[in-house]
C-alpha cells in the first residue's frame, strides 16, 4: 500500500457501529489508546471490516483544532 498521508497507525478493530449511512469504527492501537473514525457504511462492507481484524488508521489533515468552553 502506498499513500501520501504521513500518519498511518496499525491497530485492531474493537467495535463497528453501523447506521443507515455512516459507521463508527473504533481501532485499538495499543497502550489503551483508541482511534475512532466515521466512514460510510458502504466502505465498511467494501473493505470487509469486522471486529477483531487488523487495520490502519490513516490520518491526513492540514489542521487539527481543539476547543474548550
pLDDT digits (tens, 9 = 90+) for 16-67: 999 999 999 999 999 999 999 999 999 999 999 999 999 999 988 777 787 8
Query: Could you tell me the domains of the chain?
Result: 7-58 (2.40.50.100)
pTM of the model: 0.84
User: What is the residue whose three cell numbers read 490520518?
Assistant: 59
- Give the pLDDT band (50/70/90) at residue 6: confident
Instruction: Give start and end residues of each alpha helix (H) in 1-69.
Output: 41-47
The residue that leads in pLDDT, 29 or 6, is 29
Interatomic CA distance for residues 55 and 22, integer angstroms: 18
Better-scored residue on pLDDT, 51 or 1: 51
Amino acid at each position: 500500500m502506498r499513500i501520501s498521508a504521513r500518519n498511518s497507525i496499525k491497530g485492531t478493530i474493537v467495535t463497528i457501529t453501523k447506521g443507515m449511512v455512516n459507521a463508527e469504527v473504533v481501532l485499538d492501537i495499543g497502550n489503551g489508546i483508541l482511534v475512532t473514525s466515521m466512514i460510510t457504511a458502504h466502505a465498511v462492507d467494501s473493505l470487509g471490516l469486522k471486529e477483531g481484524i487488523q487495520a490502519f488508521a490513516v490520518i491526513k489533515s492540514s489542521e487539527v483544532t481543539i476547543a474548550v468552553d
